[in-house]
């Protein structure tokens, strides 16, 4: 902590994915002095982590706008299963069509998809805009944001503590490379730190998308909900690890095999399982609400035995399909990734992807903390027990803009703030002593990397698709026990804050899963395989560095 930097700003935006960039751009347009802080280089997070040829944004159909507003709401509500947020849904549907242009403002070039194929989980087709060319978009964003005079950018700093005074945001603490401290004095913070998939060994997100923003917001007084509804999507183990599998190809599967060559689930040549593969081709993430979920559960059972993945084999008719989804995906897969689905050995496993829950917010991204806003996947936004395809990026656009407009009004109402840097530093030091008391003896020494890898293995073993009470309880205990391997002293414990926060986020996830004693959407409990007739939310707060869990009837 000897190296520290102190900065002031009207508003701080944390995260430089699409949500963070939109918020930063809109805040500078409002004339605010903006500080954009990202844990990676500019243009990070899941937004710039290309896993397939294109990324889609579902929008209210322009031609049938009024009718589609009702159908769109119906789609989201149906798959949300009572866990969606109607106040967010309403504003999303009203604003998404006009928000597509925000993508151009941050360096992308969206276009309207030619066909009208319904998005994942949707029954009704509507406008879907696509983006691609991640490298070019990043290049354009760097040009755009480097020319904004009222914007300052700090890269590779991770938020670790939000500071308050008189129940209002007064600043935040960030760390860089386990050695440099950044103290920011500010009136408002917009968090856009993304989801939690980076906590899993098999994941489809960048490593820095690890949920720390969730626990930092909780510590500041925010609330979270729906964290148990995590999307797990099949992805490649081989021939190229960590590449997204295009679910629409499932209707051409001729069989699923374990890694010893044994057929474990017949393909389309069997009349009964053909229907399952056809249904499975219509959605990407696991959901227990479909009969075809037996495909995923069979996959997981085999993986638990072989500890790797399953092999899918495909009909050559796959490459004869002229549908836009097939042509674009298969071309990208072959030309960019070097994968031929019929030639290569295709081994898949479920990978952690999006999180449907997050920080409880208003339809303008307000948390219950004055001056703190949350947008994008960090927030409990439009989604519910399942996530309708094409809504994730769209939500970042709509609520990134709305959060800025609300934050500006909040800032304008504040009296002139005099930031007390010394007081903020003392508050941070006090908190650090509470969460990481000085250790005089360590039972066993493990490196930071070893602890993080162990955490990821715990999450994979205890927080995957198949869940039960005993396994979840064991996982929570293992996570807590990880702290005994911390190897710090009075001078070096600052280095361990981010590991402590990762462990707390992981516990937050497993505890959320443990509290939902039913199977609903993305959440599957082997010991509670049926859906509870009573609809409730698992809401979590934090007090004295401990997680407090409530079940609230909907």
Percentage of the residues of the chain whose pLDDT score is greater than 70: 98
The boundaries of the domain holding residue 265 are: 231-352
> pLDDT tens digit string along 1-25?
557 899 999 999 999 999 999 999 9
For residues 349 and 61, give the distance between their C-alpha atoms in angstroms, rounded to a whole number.
Answer: 35
Q: CATH number of the domain that 315 lies in?
A: 3.90.700.10
The pLDDT of residue 440 is above 90: no
DSSP assignment string, 320-335: G---HHHHHHHHHHHH
DSSP assignment string, 360-375: ---TT-B-SSBTEEE-
Task: Determine contact, residues 257/263, Cβ cutoff 8 Å.
Answer: yes
95 part of a folded domain: no
Domain boundary among the residues 295, 326, 352 is at 352
6 part of a folded domain: no
Domain boundary among the residues 314, 336, 352 is at 352
160 part of a folded domain: no
506 part of a folded domain: yes
The pLDDT of residue 280 is above 60: yes
311 part of a folded domain: yes
Task: Determine contact, residues 54/131, Cβ cutoff 8 Å.
Answer: yes
pLDDT at residue 237 in the model: 95
pLDDT at residue 2 in the model: 58
206 part of a folded domain: no
pLDDT at residue 443 in the model: 67
What pLDDT band is residue 178 in, cutting at 50, 70 and 90? Answer: low
> pLDDT tens digit string along 36-89?
999 999 999 888 886 667 889 999 877 788 899 999 999 999 999 999 999 999
For residues 174 and 159, give the distance between their C-alpha atoms in angstroms, rounded to a whole number.
Answer: 4
The structure's pTM equals 0.95
**What is the dihedral sign for C-alpha 71, 76, 78, 84?**
negative
Task: Determine contact, residues 11/190, Cβ cutoff 8 Å.
Answer: yes
Q: Do 336 and 440 belong to one domain?
A: no
Domain boundary among the residues 294, 321, 352 is at 352
Mean pLDDT, rounded, for 258-281: 96
What pLDDT band is residue 256 in, cutting at 50, 70 and 90? Answer: very high
Q: How many domains does one find in the chain?
A: 2
> pLDDT tens digit string along 494-514?
888 999 999 999 999 999 999
Cα separations in angstroms, 552 against 9, 378, 535: 37, 21, 9
Q: Do 343 and 440 belong to one domain?
A: no
110 part of a folded domain: no
63 part of a folded domain: no
How would you list the strands of the sheet with 55-59, edge to edge? 55-59, 127-131, 111-112
Q: CATH number of the domain that 523 lies in?
A: 1.20.58.100
> pLDDT tens digit string along 441-475?
666 778 889 999 999 999 999 999 999 999 999 99
Alpha-helix runs per DSSP H in 64-126:
65-80, 86-99, 102-105
């Amino acid at each position: 902590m000897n190296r520290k930097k102190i900065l002031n700003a009207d508003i701080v935006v944390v995260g430089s994915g699409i949500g963070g960039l939109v918020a930063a751009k809109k805040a500078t347009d409002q004339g605010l002095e903006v500080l954009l802080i990202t844990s990676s280089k500019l243009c990070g997070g899941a937004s710039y982590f290309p896993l397939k040829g294109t990324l889609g944004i579902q929008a209210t159909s322009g031609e049938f706008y009024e009718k589609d507003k009702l159908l769109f709401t119906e789609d989201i509500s149906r798959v949300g299963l009572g866990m969606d947020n109607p106040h967010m849904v309403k504003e999303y549907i009203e604003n998404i069509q006009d928000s597509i242009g925000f993508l151009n403002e941050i360096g992308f070039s969206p276009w309207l998809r030619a066909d009208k194929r319904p998005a994942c989980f949707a029954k009704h087709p509507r406008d879907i805009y696509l983006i691609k060319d991640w490298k070019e978009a990043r290049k354009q964003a760097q040009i755009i944001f480097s020319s904004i005079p009222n914007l300052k950018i700090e890269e590779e700093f991770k938020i670790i503590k939000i500071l308050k005074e008189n129940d209002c945001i007064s600043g935040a603490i960030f760390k860089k490379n386990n050695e440099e401290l950044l103290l920011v004095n500010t009136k408002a913070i917009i968090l856009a730190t993304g989801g939690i998939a980076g906590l899993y060994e098999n994941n489809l997100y960048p490593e820095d998308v690890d949920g720390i923003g969730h626990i930092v917001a909780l510590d500041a007084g925010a609330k979270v909900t729906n964290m148990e509804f995590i999307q797990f999507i099949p992805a490649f183990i081989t021939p190229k690890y960590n590449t997204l599998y295009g679910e629409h190809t499932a209707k051409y599967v001729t069989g699923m095999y374990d890694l010893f060559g044994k057929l474990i689930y017949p393909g389309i040549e069997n009349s009964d399982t053909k229907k399952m593969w056809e249904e499975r081709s219509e959605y990407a993430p696991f959901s227990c609400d479909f009969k075809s979920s037996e495909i995923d559960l069979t996959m997981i059972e085999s993986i638990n035995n072989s500890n790797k993945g399953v092999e899918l084999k495909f009909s050559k008719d796959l490459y004869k399909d002229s549908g836009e989804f097939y042509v674009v995906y298969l071309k990208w897969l072959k030309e960019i990734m070097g994968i031929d689905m019929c030639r290569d050995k295709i081994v898949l496993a479920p990978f952690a992807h999006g999180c449907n829950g997050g920080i409880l917010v208003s339809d303008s991204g307000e948390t219950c903390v004055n001056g703190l806003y949350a947008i994008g996947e960090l927030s409990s936004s439009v989604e519910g027990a399942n996530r309708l395809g094409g809504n994730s990026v769209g939500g970042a656009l709509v609520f990134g803009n709305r959060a800025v407009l609300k934050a500006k009004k909040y800032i304008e109402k504040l009296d002139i703030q005099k930031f007390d840097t010394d007081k903020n530093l003392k508050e941070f030091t006090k908190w650090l002593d509470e969460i990481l008391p000085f250790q005089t003896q360590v039972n066993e020494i493990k490196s930071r990397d070893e602890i993080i890898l162990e955490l990821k293995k715990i999450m994979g073993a205890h927080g995957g698709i198949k869940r039960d009470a005993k396994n979840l309880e064991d996982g929570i205990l293992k996570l807590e026990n990880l702290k005994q391997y911390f190897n710090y002293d009075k001078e070096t414990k600052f280095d361990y804050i981010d590991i402590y926060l990762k462990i707390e986020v992981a516990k937050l996830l497993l505890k959320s899963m443990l509290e939902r004693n039913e199977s609903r959407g993305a959440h599957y409990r082997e010991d509670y395989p049926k859906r509870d007739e009573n609809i409730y939310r698992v809401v979590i707060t934090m007090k004295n560095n401990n997680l407090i869990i409530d079940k609230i009837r909907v």
